[in-house]
Structure 1
Amino acid sequence: MNSFQITFYEDRNFGGRSYECSSDCGDLSSYLSHCYSCRVHSGCFMLYDRPNYMGNQYFVKRGEYPDCMSMGMSDWFRSCRMIPMYRGSYRMRIYDRENFGGQMMEMTDDCDSFMDRYRWSNCMSCHAMDGHWLMYEQPHYRGRMRYFWPGEYRSFDCMKFMSMRRIMDSWY
């Protein structure tokens, strides 16, 4: 079995036609007319409600997801991206202003609330130096999320983040 494998289903509760995937897929409608449920056999994936890795993001790890609506999606899965396993150190600089402005904190672990830890109302830019991260709009890992891999992120398209966690190899 590949280290990344997910099966998408046209209907809820794993019904209808299926499509098995072991890589990134920019447009699931090339294989299925719609996609309402999935099973992750191995690896971790980010699912998107629009083609070409756009729109809202939904993180899934090994397990069953019988109904995309129960995950908070307003529509069906349209694209997916594999999240590579990472076993190194984790390091990210977060800023309370866009374009790396304002106060900066260097993170090496999870933070369930920027307000509780730093008295920040939100994070508005970041530089992910090592590791793969999920950032959430609300404290305690709730609300909409975004996936960050090593790189610079000067702005978050009107989103503000209040908590973050590392994507750990134990999730695979």
Structure 2
Amino acid sequence: AVLCREKMTEQQGNPDQLPADKGQGGLAVFEYENFRGKKVELSGECKDAFEKTQRIGSVIVESGPWVGFERPGYAGEQFVLEKGEYPRWSAWTNCQSFYSLCSFRPLKDSADHKFHLFENAGYEGRKMEIVDDDVPSLWAYGFQDRVASAKVINGTWVGYMYPGYRGRQYVFEQGEFKHWNDWGATAPQIQSVRRVRDMQWHKRGCNSNMASSVMGHFSLFIILFLKDLCYAIYF
């Protein structure tokens, strides 16, 4: 079920429309947890939400998807925000540390998704191709956790440092990433990836309880290239 905008209350206050560039999607940020306090609505890119509010304690994504950043100017840690409610900081990150959101931009949606992962920088070494599917564990599908370069053929993806869609997030939009620094990482480690889609994939918009999906069945075609050999693996 799609979570709709809650009715305004005196506690929430009147919404401010933050000037933003043209874009798709709609997102509302609130000053305090549980959608209380001052409300600011976004309809496009926002380099610094703190120009209109002193803090961000909760978020509602009415249409999307979006990516939020830890610091102004689209810098720092990235957090994918899909349609749904995020009543507190722990709903947009599964880390134990507190993470604020300071800047936002909408992400493009696509009907088709294709992602190539490479073991080494410069698109060298073993290769994994993922087509229209989510992978809760690269190890479970015969690939290692070392991902040093990548190519997004179609769609938008998010990679995670750990299995089960846990840990630091990295957004991959259509294009080429020759080195792990290109997606903002300090080390070539990705252990799970999934598609970013304009849909509510968790009832509260939270990605912290996905470990059970690791054992689920996924139809996935993986191509592994090792030296002169080519292995095709079906699940």
Same fold at TM > 0.5: yes
Report the 3-state secondary structure (helix = DSSP H, G, I; strand = E; otherwise coil) of the residue aligned with 1:32.
Answer: coil
1:1-172 paired onto structure 2 within 5 Å: 4-70=25-91, 71=93, 72=95, 74-87=98-111, 89-108=112-131, 109-156=133-180, 157-159=185-187, 160-171=189-200
Could you tell me how far 1:74 is from its partner in structure 2?
2.4
Residues 133-142 or 98-107, more deviating: 98-107
Q: Could you say what secondary structure the match of 1:107 adopts?
A: strand
Structure 1 Cα separation of the partners of residues 167 and 64 of structure 2: 23
Distance 1:28 1:90 in 2: 31
Q: Which amino acid aligns with 1:162?
A: Q
Q: Do the aligned residues in 1 keep the contact of 2:82 with 2:198 (CA within 8 Å)?
A: no
**Bigger Rg, structure 1 or 2:** 2
CA contact (8 A) 1:115 1:122 kept: no
Let me know the Cα RMSD of the aligned residues: 2.0
- Partner deviation per Cα, 1:77-130 (whole Å, 9 max, x = no partner): 10111112212x211211011221211122212222111212413222101111
Say whether the 8 Å CA contact 1:40–1:60 is kept in structure 2: yes
State the AA in 1 paired with 2:82.
K
TM-score with structure 1 setting the length: 0.89
* Structure 1, unpaired ranges of 5+: none
Q: Counterparts of 1:165 and 1:103 in 2: how far apart (Å)?
A: 20
The answer as to whether partners of 1:114 and 1:122 remain within 8 angstroms in 2 is no
Q: Distance in 1 between matches of 2:145 and 2:84?
A: 33
Q: Distance in 2 between matches of 1:5 and 1:150?
A: 22
TM-score (norm: length of structure 2): 0.67
Q: Distance in 2 between matches of 1:110 and 1:69?
A: 23
* Structure 2: stretches of 5+ with no match in the other structure: 1-22, 202-235
Tell me the matched-pair count: 170
Is the contact between residue 94 and residue 125 of structure 1 (CA under 8 Å) also seen in structure 2?
Answer: yes
Q: Is the 8 A contact 1:114 1:120 kept in 2?
A: yes
